[in-house]
Amino acid sequence: MEERTSVTESEWKIMELLWRGGTWTMPEITRALEEETGWSKHTVISLLKRMCQKGSAEVIPDTHPMQYRALLPRKEAVRQETRSVLRKAFGGRGALLIQALVEQEELTQAEIDGLLRELEQKKRGD
């Protein structure tokens, strides 16, 4: 899949709603995020327009009021965001990210165990 423009922090809030499934109208999105963001409908309209131009969301044709849905899969957005963080903060080295998480005690024992299993599988070529 081609690399798309990354999702901004503001767009991510809307994408989280769209990834829940179904379709969302601008008023529904505004209401759902109102308490957290304080955004007006004009802010939401601007964000939705930009997201549609970037290809991360779309207007469903022939819907009134206009309904939106995600085009960019969550898994792809997470992949892009991870690559961006790795490049910016860790010089593209995933091991440095994991080391930072361990040093800052950001991982639970269950998460460490899961990572160890994943690393062992990768080492074996599974």
pLDDT tens, position by position, 6-20:
899 999 999 999 999
Number of domains forming the structure of the chain:
2
Domain range holding 115? 75-124
Q: Is 1 contained in some domain?
A: no
**Among the three residues 35, 57, 73, which one is the final residue of a domain in this structure?**
73
Q: Say yes or no to pLDDT of 72 above 80.
A: yes
**Cα-flanking dihedrals φ and ψ of residue 91, to 5°?**
60, 25
Binned at pLDDT 50, 70 and 90, residue 21 comes out as: confident
Q: What is the mean pLDDT of residues 73-87?
A: 93
Length of the chain: 126
State whether 95 and 42 are in the same domain.
Answer: no
What's the pLDDT score for residue 101?
85
Q: Say yes or no to pLDDT of 60 above 70.
A: yes
Please tell me the pTM assigned to this model.
0.80
Instruction: Please tell me whether residue 38 adopts helix, strand or coil conformation.
Output: coil
